[in-house]
Amino acid sequence: MKKAILSGLALLVVAASVSACGGSDNKSNEDAASSNNSTETKTTDSTPAKEETAAEEVIDPFAKFAEPTEVSIGRAIDPNYKYDGTDTAEDNVYTRWLKDKYNIVVKHAWEAASGNDYQQKVSLAISSNDLPDALVVNETQLRQMVKAGQLADLTDVYDKYASSELKAVYDSNPGLLDSVTFDGKLYALPETTLPSAPMTWIRKDWLDKLNLEAPKSLEDLGKIAQAFIDNKMGGDKTVGIVGTQQGGSLSSNFLASTDHWYNFSPLFFANDAYPGIWVKDKDGNAVYGSITEETKNALAMMKDWYAKGILDKELGIRKSTAEVVASGQTGIFFGPWWSAYNLSDSMKNDPNANWRPYIAPLDAAGKFNSNQATGSSYIVVSKKAKHPEAVIKMTTLHKWGKDEEYKTLTAGKEMTSQEVPLFLILGAGDQLEYAVNHLRQYLKDEIKLEDIDNINYGWAHEMATHVKAIKKEPFDNYDIQYFDQQADTGFFTHIYAHLNGGSTFVDADINWVRSIATAQTKTMESRWTNLKKLEDETFFKIIMGTEDISAFDTFVTKWKDQGGDKITEEVNELK
Amino acid sequence: MIPKSFSKHFYIMLIPGLVWLALFNLYPMYGVLTAFKEFNPGLGIWKSPWVGMENFQYMFELDDSKLVFRNTVVIAFAKMVGNLLVPFVFALMLNEVKNRLLTRTVQTVVYLPHFLSWVIVAGMMLDIFSYSGPVNQVLSGLGLDPIMFFGNAHIFPALVVGSDVWKEFGFNAIIFFSALTSINPEMYEAAAVDGASQWQRLIKITIPSIIPVAALLATLSLGNILNAGFDQIFNMYNPSVYSTGDIVDTWVYRAGLIDFQYGLATAVGLLKSVVGLVLITISYTLAYRFANYRIF
């Protein structure tokens, strides 16, 4: 114990001497840090504190801590995830590797099921000011924590301990670090959000059986859903299109983007409606997407579809949409390219389940619209944390620390967010596009393995080494029967998701619509609970038929009166 | 005069109860300050800036606050009535069954749901009343259109009250059973000798004997009139039933923990506590007056 405290103090001295140097030295620190990366000096870890010289001291982001360094975290757990043997989220191949190789000991302050439970637990931790050393949070929570002054300023630690690769990634995503810099202080490590638009996922095996064409318009989609129901493709209880489950929202909004997974965003987008985000009207003024005429039209259409039984009769009530998809009761849902990662249960129940994504439905002008998801994940470090540098190191190691030893230990299995603590998606902005395109070219032998950039696109390179065992000919057909699911189980889902979901998305021509506001304005802070409730209630009631479509106009009036107009003014000032 | 040694251990036995009270009921009172502040978790409750009655003013401006209070009272009151009447009638009926094995079995079976958590019961209810669930299958068998029970704001409160009564009536009946067994059997024997029928004995002896217990339970439950059951509703509701199903506790949860409006959420919670306190005082006074029930 005493030893641990001492080493903690030693590291604190380093941190203190760095911050004592002040802002003017920052530039030279950065230079020092980046230059030492290139020289790969691995001798400095044994001399942690040298008082004044510490600032200029070369720090190797890949060095082992001299003493076991503990980092407590709150952790989101997938209750259905199966670990190898007796492994757990806290003690598995990855965490043991971190401990043995780098002396980073990850302790769980608490665990919660990923999704709502985890978000709730994080919010509770913020409110009670009882934070573990590090957490993965969403944007609203990040802002709340910054406002409450609960976070550690990571500016110096990042400069010193982030590897050149990590810095390169953030440099290639311009503006990303600025978005988490408040008053000149860096408060979080943001995820390099992969772009995502909701596509329509359809059971192609069902389409083929019924001799149906892939959908283009809303009308096509409605007809396909109707045909699936009429022909009882999923049994007597076939559900046309599934989406929102209990506690979920109809579409993603500017504050909490659910990445469009399992909701009904595309039905709005195909009507040129963008509920939940702030868009520009004809005159260029900000307007809230949920109160536009287009949204009204979309709701009227959804109301009609619901009445016909095309939309899930239990939308918003059902406990788990995933269950319906897995059990083969439905053939259509909406989701981003990575939805393919979550189809394994469905394929387990029915090996013929051939889920394919479609760039549909298109709007009247034939465009495929999507709002740009704003929500993202952030690693934050508590002000009280003793070793913020360990968190930075973990982030670097997760991406770039994988040596031969690691590969032996994990036996080629790709670690997921369930093994890796503080999991963050990091990569160059065009990561997905690069990976998908190079995988395709590599399959066709148009390029060699060495042509894939292993330094900046390590993940693409890694996948390429596995892709040939998994993907069968024809290489440009991504139906499930042209994948070997058993050959390389550790990589199958990755390859499947990238080739099946990723390729469709990468090739698509998408009309992106961005929200003008991406955070709460002053009035929103007090009024939003009320306005959001009004919106959710009205929309659900209209769709489910308990209210007439005219309720929409009442909603708009009320929304404006109860603070909406004031908020719109504030958002207009943001433009 | 009670000997000293006698009273002492009663006080000692009181300690765990007092500790519990202090930890869970007195200590959190400090947090009530949040209602008058702009709470900042980083500063803590004490150092956060005061805002006076701003949170309360805003609360009374909101249509929502009236609505959630109304919903809470309606649901809680209906639960109170249901949780009193159903176990009462059930206990009387079961009391007439003479087969002891049957009585015991039924008693055990009906109080089992009490031990299930709402997460499970709500999941069951959602399935039973789902669009293709058993209830709707029966309806369609009768040639009726299926009903979206949990999506209908008119039906939702009935489902909430009904499922709560279903879950709790077996357990609540226990107290009536014990009241029934304490009725002096000589009264029944005397009535039988005088030629009273089974029905007359029920009306004239059994019911009057357990009415005081029922009255006591009724008055005591008044204090719960603002507890409509967060666990239950949180697991059952959805936006389309907000107008009748959103209660104070679920609203406070959304405002406080999802939207971080701590002050407002605490103000609403505090108002709930104040009204609850008044009601408990009333119910205690009534219980004392009519059933001679005393705590101290």
* A163-202 pLDDT tens trace: 888 888 888 877 788 888 998 999 999 888 766 789 999 9
Instruction: Spell out a b/e string for A200-219, using b for 16 or more CB atoms within 10 Å of the CB, else e.
Output: bbbbbbbbeeeebeebeebe
Based on the fold, state whether residues A228 and A101 are members of the same structural domain. no
Residue with the larger pLDDT of the pair B11 and B105: B105
Query: With bands split at pLDDT 50, 70 and 90, how would you rate the model's confidence at A29?
Result: very low
Minimal Cα–Cα distance from B84 to chain A, Å?
30
Question: Does any domain span residue A5?
Answer: no
Q: How far apart are CA A24 and CA A132, in angstroms?
A: 32
- pLDDT-wise least confident of A28-32, A76-80, A157-161, A237-241: A28-32
- Lowest pLDDT segment from A486-490, B93-97, B125-129: A486-490
Both A397 and A360 in a single domain? no
Give how far Cα B168 sits from Cα of B29, B82, B83, B88, B154, Å. 30, 10, 7, 12, 23
Residue A564 lies in a domain: no
pLDDT confidence of residue A540: 94
Do the domain assignments include residue A442? yes
How far, in Å, CA of B135 to CA of B128, rounded? 6
Q: What is the pLDDT of residues B183-219, one digit of tens each?
A: 998 999 999 899 888 889 898 999 988 888 888 888 7
Q: Which residues of B touch A316 (CB under 8 A)?
A: 151, 238-240
Kindly identify which residue of chain B lies nearest to residue A129, measuring between CA atoms. B41
Q: What is the pLDDT of residue A58?
A: 67
Higher pLDDT, A44 or A563: A563
Pairing of strands A134-137, A368-371: unpaired
What are the phi and psi torsion angles at A288 (to 5°)? -80, 120
A28 and A89 together in one domain: yes
Chain B residues inside the 8 Å CB shell of A147 = 40, 42
Same domain (yes/no): A350, A405? no
Q: Is the pLDDT of residue B145 over 60?
A: yes
Do both A345 and A389 map to the same domain? no
Q: Are A150 and B280 contacting, i.e. CB atoms less than 8 angstroms apart?
A: no
Q: Do residues A428 and A456 touch, judged by C-beta distance below 8 A?
A: yes
Q: Which of A192-206, A402-416, A554-568, B8-22 has the lowest mean pLDDT?
A: A402-416
pLDDT, tens digit (0-9, with 9 covering 90-100), for B146-180: 888 998 889 999 999 999 999 999 999 998 999 99
Instruction: Catalogue the E-assigned strands of A274-407.
Output: 278-280, 286-288, 330-335, 355-358, 368-371, 378-381
Q: Among A154-158, A314-318, A520-524, B150-154, which is the least confidently predicted range?
A: A520-524
Looking at residue A68, its amino acid is P
Distance CA A476, CA A174 (A): 33
For position A35, what pLDDT does the model report?
Answer: 36
Co-location of A26 and A174 in the same domain? yes
Which residue of B lies nearest to A539 if distances are taken between CA atoms? B240
β-bridge pairing A330-335 and A199-203: antiparallel
At position A425, the amino acid (one-letter code) is I
The predicted pLDDT at position A497 comes to: 92
Counted across chains A and B, CB pairs separated by less than 8 A come out at 99
> How many C-beta atoms surround the C-beta of residue A492 within 10 A?
20
The pLDDT score that the predictor gives to residue A416 is 79
- pLDDT grade for A390, boundaries at 50, 70 and 90: very high
User: Is residue B236 within 8 Å of B159, Cβ to Cβ?
Assistant: yes
- Give the domains, in start order, of chain B with CATH numbers: 35-291 (1.10.3720.10)
Do A334 and A216 lie in a common domain? yes
- Do A182 and A40 lie in one domain? The reply is yes
Give the model's pLDDT for residue A169.
85
Does pLDDT of A510 surpass 80? yes
Residue B22: pLDDT over 80 = yes
Give the tens place of pLDDT for each residue, A451-473: 988 877 888 888 999 999 999 98
| CA pair distance A231, A239, nearest whole angstrom | 11
| Highest mean pLDDT out of A64-68, A124-128, A288-292 | A288-292
**pLDDT for the residue A15:** 37
pLDDT at A501: 92
Residues of B within 8 A of A314 (CB-CB) are 130-131, 148, 150-151
* CA atoms of B288 and A161, how far apart (whole Å): 70
Q: Tell me the average pLDDT across A245-251.
A: 86
Kindly tell me the burial class for residue A31, based on how many C-beta atoms sit within 10 Å of its own C-beta (0-12, 13-18, 19 or more): exposed
A412-449 pLDDT, tens digit per residue, is 777 778 888 998 878 777 788 899 999 999 999 999 99
Average pLDDT score over residue span B89-107: 90
Interchain contact B264–A (C-beta under 8 A) = yes
Which residues on chain B are in Cβ contact (under 8 Å) with A123?
257-258, 260
Q: Is residue A383 part of a domain?
A: yes
On whether the CB atoms of residues A543 and A303 are closer than 8 A, the answer is yes
Q: How far apart are CA A213 and CA A302, in angstroms?
A: 22
Which of B40, B63, B132 lies closest to A148 in CB terms? B40
pLDDT attached to residue A522 = 80
Q: Report the C-alpha gap between B105 and B264 in whole angstroms.
A: 49
What is the DSSP code string of B138-168?
HHHHTTPPP--GGG-TTTHHHHHHHHHHHHH
Task: Render pLDDT for B236-282 as a digit per residue (tens, 0 to 9).
Answer: 999 889 999 999 999 888 888 877 888 888 898 898 888 888 888 88
* Predicted local confidence at residue A271, as pLDDT: 95
Lowest mean pLDDT among A109-113, A382-386, B49-53, B91-95: B49-53
Does any domain span residue A303? yes
Q: State whether residue A117 sits within 8 Å of chain B by CB.
A: no
Band (A6; pLDDT cuts 50, 70, 90): very low
Q: How many domains does chain A have?
A: 3
State phi, psi for A77 to the nearest 5 degrees. Answer: -120, 135
How far apart, in whole angstroms, are the C-alpha atoms of residue A395 and residue A399?
A: 7
C-beta neighbour count of B69 within 10 angstroms: 18
Q: Is any Cβ of chain B less than 8 angstroms from the Cβ of A149?
A: yes
- Give the end of a domain, one of A469, A485, A519: A519
How big is the CA angle at A280 (ends A277 and A281), to the nearest 5 degrees? 120
CB atoms B242 and A526 under 8 Å: no
Tokens describing residue B178: 């014990």
The answer, yes or no, to whether the previous bond of A361 is cis (omega within 30 of 0) is yes
Which residues have CB under 8 Å from B198's CB, separation 6+? B96
Q: Are residues A343 and A365 in the same domain?
A: yes
Share of chain A above pLDDT 70, in %: 88
A288 within domain boundaries = yes
Residues of A in contact with B259 (CB under 8 A): 528-529, 532
Report yes or no on whether pTM surpasses 0.80.
no
The strand order across the sheet containing A189-190 reads A104-113, A69-77, A134-137, A378-381, A189-190
Assess whether A290 and A242 both reside in one domain. Answer: yes
Q: Which member of A313, A316, A526 has the closest CB to residue B240?
A: A316
Residue type for position B286: L
Does the pLDDT of residue A291 top 90, yes or no? yes
Tokens of A57: 């001291």
**Contacts with B121 from chain A: Cβ below 8 Å:** none
Task: Give the per-residue pLDDT at A39.
Answer: 35
Provide the mean pLDDT of chain B. 87
Measure the N-to-C terminal CA separation of chain A; round to a whole number of Å: 54
CATH number reported for the structural domain that contains residue A247 in this entry:
3.40.190.10
pLDDT at residue A195, as a whole number: 67
Does residue A142 sit in the same domain as residue A76?
A: yes
ipTM of the complex: 0.76
Q: Is B260 on the interface with A (CB under 8 A)?
A: yes
Q: What is the pLDDT of residue A377?
A: 85
What is the distance in angstroms between the Cα of A435 and the nearest Cα belonging to chain B? 37
Burial class (CB in 10 A: 0-12, 13-18, 19+), B17: exposed
Asked if B243 reaches chain A (Cβ–Cβ under 8 Å), the answer is yes
- Across-strand partners of A371? A513
Which two tokens mark A471?
Answer: 């993907």
State whether A124 and B148 contact (CB < 8 Å): no
Amino acid at B116: L
Q: Tell me if A207 is assigned to some domain.
A: yes
Residue A474 lies in a domain: yes
Q: Is residue B1's pLDDT more than 60?
A: no
- Asked if B34 contacts B262 with a C-beta cutoff of 8 angstroms, the reply is yes
Long-range CB contacts (within 8 A, 24+) of A212-218: A214/A358, A214/A360, A215/A358, A215/A360, A215/A361, A216/A360, A216/A361, A216/A362, A217/A270, A217/A360, A217/A361, A217/A362, A218/A267, A218/A270, A218/A271, A218/A301, A218/A361
What is the extent of the structural domain holding A461? Answer: 431-512
Q: What is the pLDDT of residue A373?
A: 64
Q: Is the pLDDT of residue A8 over 60?
A: no
Task: Say yes or no: B153 contacts chain A, CB-CB below 8 A.
Answer: yes
Q: Give the gap in angstroms from C-alpha B23 to the nearest C-alpha of chain A.
A: 16
Which residue type does B252 have? V
The Cα–Cα gap between A45 and A60 comes to 8
What is the chain A residue with the closest CA to B153?
A546
Are the beta carbons of A533 and B123 separated by less than 8 Å? Answer: no
Q: Give the range with max mean pLDDT: A109-118, A301-310, A416-425.
A: A301-310
Q: B30 and B24 in contact (C-beta within 8 Å)?
A: no
* A31 plus A139 within the same structural domain: yes
Among the listed ranges A166-180, A215-229, A308-322, A351-365, which one has the minimum average pLDDT value? A166-180
Check if the beta carbon of residue B35 is closer than 8 Å to that of residue B266.
Answer: yes
Closest residue in chain A to residue B40, using alpha carbons only: A148
